[in-house]
Chain A
Amino acid sequence: MLTARFDALRAQGRRALVCYATAGHPDPERSVALWQGLEAAGADVLEVGVPFSDPMADGPVIQASSQTALAHGVSLDGALALVSRAKLGIPVVLFSYLNPLLAAGPDVLRRAADAGVHGVLVTDLPVGADAAREAWLGEGPLDFVRLVAPTTPQDRMAEIARHGRGFVYLISRLGVTGVSAQLPTELPDTIATLRAVCTLPICVGFGIARPEQARALGAHADGIVVGSAIVRAAGESVDAAVALARELRGALDERGA
């Protein structure tokens, strides 16, 4: 389903808007409403964050949302139940740390697929780290989306691209998730370096929050991922987060007009 979505976008000359939201934040009810609103605002893919007690790759906004979700009792099983309830028409990618997936047992990928999840992305399982668990994720019913960082050398980018499915998630800059005032000037070069060894669509995330950033990146990448900005807005209200998604959608589409 991820591939079909990106193929359709490519045929239309459009860029993907990937929205991240932590499952169970601001609370379970509003979480479902938020996802449905993001779809209506034109998100192409929804990344559902699985709350984790020790999110070492996340900045303060997503950390806090994770804590809130855990306080509401939402863990991986809770996240799947919410996905099931939301009945979305766009592909859903589970965004998780490895430990909750391991604790959920080997059949969790099947249960996720049954709940309406299409892909999985694991923050702390880089290519080459654990052949057996990578095979488990890669050969299961979900597209195993892999990450490339600004520190990744090109030969390793090629290796990652070979192992990835659905799309490749390019981390825009060093550091944890969170809004940045400015994206690195070398980002277009990094995208080009990755593009030379990668046939999968490339989506860029970390630090993207504003329409002009979306517009600028649309010239180079196949899609953008917006996380902390959506989560922060969702902490104010679902409407604010949906309005931000709509604004970003407009900026991405303007590019092609």
Chain B
Amino acid sequence: MQTQGVVDGRFGAFGGRYVPETLVPALDELEVALDAALADPAFHAELDGLLQHYVGRPSPLSDAPRFSERVGAPVWLKREDLNHTGAHKINSALAQALLARRMGKRRIIAETGAGQHGVATATVCARLGLECVVYMGEEDMRRQQLNVYRMRLMGATVVPVTAGTRTLKDATTEAIRDWVTTCPTSHYIIGSVVGPAPYPRMVRDFQAIIGREARRQMLERAGRLPRTVVACVGGGSNAMGIFHPFVNDAAVELVGVEAAGHGLDSGAHSASLTRGTPGVLHGALSYLLQDAHGQVYPAHSISAGLDYPGVGPEHSHLKDTGRATYVSVTDDQALEGFALLGRLEGIIPALETAHAVAWIASQRGRWAADEPVLLCVSGRGDKDVAQVSELGQGVG
């Protein structure tokens, strides 16, 4: 076992454990419990059973004939939108809740942006009989009222966060404050591949089921690996989950799509990898939107789930090593992607996913007609329909 508090779980220069001393023993405890659980067949048996019979895994791989025609290459959709609760978030929330129960922690804390992670966490807490407290920015509560109601229906307490930008960044800060106060009895289920070690690798490993299934399904259905894997990146958990099993396939290109908001030069975007610089936020060193004084900029995206000024440290590493490429798409382009997939395939994607859809749609000519593209449909768009219809968008 490693020495207390000494962190070797870095991704190149990124990651680490930059937290108040109070949390160091809790993170040590979590790391030990995680490794014990991962080595325990009983843990996997219970998790796999719930993933199959409760979440509905494996999620399908859908072909997309009309969208493919538009793109000029076969596009395959990994359907995380068909999971119970409508997004990939439940993969990690479920596994972490089982882990918390193993650790004897019966109170769960979570932060949420779009509400998908909050809903997933409230769901698994109801299933396992755990207390659930979700921190959510006031602005996001307004944007995602239905998800707030869903969480409350399942017995969770939703705490409005009124500090700062009243979005995901401040909800995360508030959740950490709760955890500093309650760590002996609470587990903090972080929603993305962010936060102090061991969170980024833990969430990645619990989300990697997306990529493992998709890799197998591509070989079965398309008869080959994809030329390019595409996913949206806010914190980056669906992207890390689908990328990870392909990292050693050198011929497979990995592309993460960030939110360019009103445009990269507008000062109102969430493209941390494209425009940020390395810095420390929420326990990890990673690319960060910050000013010259190290103060964190408020991010902006039309999609609450991408509205975050940081990004998972492993993405920073994949960027710096060149293994993955990161691009960005504006709010307006994302709205077009949102409508496009609905019109062409009968699948309304989450606004987060719509960024990845829009990027693929913009790249006609990039791929040969026999080069398959794999898109992670990280979530369904039902939660966004009200917001988009208010904007008068999507129906032309």
List residues of chain B with CB within 8 A of the CB of A99.
Answer: 279-281, 288, 290, 294, 296
Contact B18 A54 (CB under 8 A): no
User: Complex formed: what's the CA distance from A76 to B177 in Å?
Assistant: 23
For the complex, would chain A's binding face be called helix, strand, loop or mixed by DSSP majority?
A: loop
Q: Which of B339-384 contact A (CB under 8 A)?
A: none
**Is A107 among interface residues, defined by CB-CB distance under 8 A?**
no
List residues of chain B with CB within 8 A of the CB of A148.
Answer: 21
Contact B18 A124 (CB under 8 A): yes
List residues of chain B with CB within 8 A of the CB of A70.
Answer: 295
User: Complex formed: what's the CA distance from A156 to B279 in Å?
Assistant: 27
**Is B115 among interface residues, defined by CB-CB distance under 8 A?**
no
User: Complex formed: what's the CA distance from A63 to B22 in Å?
Assistant: 19
List residues of chain A with CB within 8 A of the CB of B176.
Answer: 56
Q: Per-residue CB proximity of A35-74 to B under 8 Å, as 1/0? A: 0000000000000000111111101000100010010000
**Is B164 among interface residues, defined by CB-CB distance under 8 A?**
yes
Contact B22 A153 (CB under 8 A): no
List residues of chain A with CB within 8 A of the CB of B16.
Answer: 129-130
User: Complex formed: what's the CA distance from A67 to B296 in Å?
Assistant: 12
Contact B21 A102 (CB under 8 A): no
User: Complex formed: what's the CA distance from A57 to B290 in Å?
Assistant: 19
Contact B293 A100 (CB under 8 A): yes
Contact B5 A75 (CB under 8 A): no
Number of interface residues of A (CB under 8 A): 45
List residues of chain A with CB within 8 A of the CB of B183.
Answer: 151, 174
Contact A152 B21 (CB under 8 A): yes
**Is B145 among interface residues, defined by CB-CB distance under 8 A?**
no
Contact B293 A54 (CB under 8 A): no
Q: Which of A74-119 contact B (CB under 8 A)?
A: 75-77, 97-104
**Is A176 among interface residues, defined by CB-CB distance under 8 A?**
yes
Contact B181 A175 (CB under 8 A): yes
Of the candidates B7, B24, B295, which one forms a contact with A53 in the assembled complex, judged by CB atoms under 8 Å apart?
A: B295
Given contacts A99-B281, A103-B294, whether A128 and B19 have CB atoms under 8 Å apart is no
User: Complex formed: what's the CA distance from A155 to B283 in Å?
Assistant: 23
Contact B280 A126 (CB under 8 A): no
Contact A129 B292 (CB under 8 A): no
Contact B25 A151 (CB under 8 A): yes
User: Complex formed: what's the CA distance from A52 to B296 in Å?
Assistant: 8
**Is A147 among interface residues, defined by CB-CB distance under 8 A?**
yes
Shortest C-beta distance, A205 to chain B (Å), equals 12
Shortest C-beta distance, B208 to chain A (Å), equals 26
Shortest C-beta distance, B199 to chain A (Å), equals 14
Contact A126 B17 (CB under 8 A): yes
Q: Per-residue CB proximity of B1-25 to A under 8 Å, as 1/0? A: 0011111000000001111111111
Contact B177 A56 (CB under 8 A): yes
Of the candidates A77, A103, A128, A149, which one forms a contact with B279 in the assembled complex, judged by CB atoms under 8 Å apart?
A: A103
**Is A179 among interface residues, defined by CB-CB distance under 8 A?**
no
Q: Per-residue CB proximity of A163-202 to B under 8 Å, as 1/0? A: 0000000010011100000000000000000000000000
User: Complex formed: what's the CA distance from A130 to B197 in Å?
Assistant: 12
Contact A104 B177 (CB under 8 A): no
Contact B292 A103 (CB under 8 A): yes
User: Complex formed: what's the CA distance from A67 to B295 in Å?
Assistant: 11
**Is A125 among interface residues, defined by CB-CB distance under 8 A?**
yes
List residues of chain B with CB within 8 A of the CB of A59.
Answer: 177
User: Complex formed: what's the CA distance from A57 to B282 in Å?
Assistant: 10
Contact A104 B294 (CB under 8 A): yes
**Is A213 among interface residues, defined by CB-CB distance under 8 A?**
no
Of the candidates B25, B169, B293, which one forms a contact with A75 in the assembled complex, judged by CB atoms under 8 Å apart?
A: B293
**Is A9 among interface residues, defined by CB-CB distance under 8 A?**
no
User: Complex formed: what's the CA distance from A59 to B283 in Å?
Assistant: 17
Contact A174 B181 (CB under 8 A): yes
List residues of chain B with CB within 8 A of the CB of A54.
Answer: 164, 169-170, 173, 281-282, 296
Of the candidates B3, B5, B180, which one forms a contact with A126 in the assembled complex, judged by CB atoms under 8 Å apart?
A: B5
**Is B163 among interface residues, defined by CB-CB distance under 8 A?**
yes
User: Complex formed: what's the CA distance from A97 to B170 in Å?
Assistant: 16
**Is B26 among interface residues, defined by CB-CB distance under 8 A?**
yes
List residues of chain A with CB within 8 A of the CB of B4.
Answer: 128, 153, 155-156, 159
Q: Which of B258-288 contact A (CB under 8 A)?
A: 279-283, 288
Contact A149 B21 (CB under 8 A): yes
Contact A76 B163 (CB under 8 A): no
Contact B181 A176 (CB under 8 A): yes
Shortest C-beta distance, B14 to chain A (Å), equals 12
Given contacts A52-B295, A174-B180, whether A125 and B290 have CB atoms under 8 Å apart is no
Contact A149 B293 (CB under 8 A): no
Contact B292 A174 (CB under 8 A): no
Contact B25 A98 (CB under 8 A): no
Of the candidates A75, A98, A151, A175, which one forms a contact with B18 in the assembled complex, judged by CB atoms under 8 Å apart?
A: A98
Closest to A103 in B: B294
Shortest C-beta distance, B318 to chain A (Å), equals 21
List residues of chain A with CB within 8 A of the CB of B283.
Answer: 124
Shortest C-beta distance, A46 to chain B (Å), equals 22
Q: Which of A10-38 contact B (CB under 8 A)?
A: none
Partner-B contacts on A (CB < 8 A): 51-57, 59, 63, 67, 70, 75-77, 97-104, 123-130, 147-153, 155-156, 159-160, 171, 174-176
A-B contact pairs, 29 of them (CB 8 A): A53-B296, A54-B170, A54-B173, A54-B296, A56-B282, A59-B177, A67-B164, A99-B281, A99-B296, A102-B279, A102-B294, A103-B292, A126-B21, A127-B21, A128-B3, A128-B4, A128-B6, A129-B16, A129-B17, A129-B24, A130-B18, A151-B183, A155-B4, A156-B24, A159-B4, A160-B21, A174-B181, A174-B183, A176-B177
Partner-A contacts on B (CB < 8 A): 3-7, 16-26, 163-164, 169-170, 173, 176-177, 180-184, 279-283, 288, 290, 292-296
Q: List the 8 closest A-B pairs by CB distance, nearest first.
A: A103-B294, A75-B293, A175-B181, A128-B5, A149-B22, A100-B294, A128-B6, A99-B294
Sample of 12 further A-B pairs with CB below 8 A, known A124-B18, A129-B5, A151-B22 = A51-B295, A54-B164, A54-B282, A56-B282, A98-B18, A99-B288, A99-B290, A126-B24, A128-B5, A151-B184, A152-B25, A176-B177
